Each structure stands twice: as C-alpha cells, then as structure tokens.
Amino acid sequence: MAEKPNRGFSLIELIVVIAIMAVLVGILAPAYLRYVEKSRKSADLNAVDETMRAADAVATEEEYHVPMGAHFVITAAGGTLSLSIPEDVWNAAVSGSEDDDYRSIAENEWKSVAGKGGYACRSKEWRSVGGILTGEVDADGSLVWSHGTGDLFQKMGDFSPEFSQKIG
C-alpha cells in the first residue's frame, strides 16, 4: 500500500480555524477590556487610599510634632491626584526621623503622589474626576478627613463603600 505524502492543511481547514479564533476574540475581548478598566479604577482608588495613609502616618506620629489644625489636602484635577502638605510637616517627614521606616513613607509613598507631579489617573472614568479631600489634625493628634468640592468623594464612595467610613 502506497503512502500519501503529507501536504499540510487545506484552505478550508485554515479558514475554519481563523473563523473560530475570530469568534473567540469577539467574545473575550470585551470581557478583557472591562477587567482592565476595573483594575485601573482600583489602582486609582488605591492611590488616594495610600496618600491618605501616608498623611495619617505622619500626622499621628508624635516625633513629627504636627500642629493641631494643620491641613493635608488631596486634590483631583485634570486626571491628576496630588497631595498638599504644610511645608513644616513635609520637612519633618523627610528629615525629622532617624527611623528608616518613616523616612521611607515620606520619600517613597509621597514622592509618587505629593507635590512631585502627582499621580496620573489611569481609568477613563477617573480622568474626569475633580475635587478636594481635606484632612485636619484634631486635638488628639489624629487626622480627620472631610470632603469639599467636586466629585472625588462620590467616585470613591461608589467604588468602595468602606471608603465613606474614613470621611468624618
């Protein structure tokens, strides 16, 4: 019995495979894009949360002697989040501690968000967010956050209901 030489795939077989792949891409691409957008929103929310944590860490640390009434302001405008810190608090945070952990908070976490160009929002929805969150040091040395103008607070509350518990 003579063997047939292997001639590869026929044109019909290739067209069927391409059609199957096109259907799979058509089904999976929208789900993948939704997943990517959700992860971008999460990254934006985490940027604000980390900014609040960094400010809280300095405001509540006794060695920095943050005065009562000092304000930390998170601003969202033009797709950028930034943190305004009183100059004396900033100087204390960067150089006031011998402990490398606190210096790391000031230099690493704040560098990406505070005053150095800010954090660029990644999600389409958050690029249009604007607003202000203000943290004020109260009498017992803790930082109490309140929302001001704009929809920054609203977007954060919609995405994470637990966030509204942080706002006084």
How high is the pLDDT of residue 113? 46
How high is the pLDDT of residue 159? 54
In which band, very low, low, confident or very high, does the pLDDT at 44 lie, cut at 50, 70 and 90? confident
Is the distance from CB of 112 to CB of 53 less than 8 angstroms?
no
Q: What is the pLDDT of residues 113-158, one digit of tens each?
A: 454 557 888 888 878 888 888 888 888 878 888 877 777 767 666 5
Mean of pLDDT values over 26-45: 91
Mean of pLDDT values over 74-96: 72
Mean of pLDDT values over 87-100: 60
Closest CA to 47 of 70, 66, 72, 75: 75
In which band, very low, low, confident or very high, does the pLDDT at 110 lie, cut at 50, 70 and 90? low
How high is the pLDDT of residue 59? 76
More confident: 163 or 10? 10
End-to-end CA distance of the chain: 87
* Extended strands (E) in the chain: 71-77, 80-84, 119-120, 131-137, 143-150
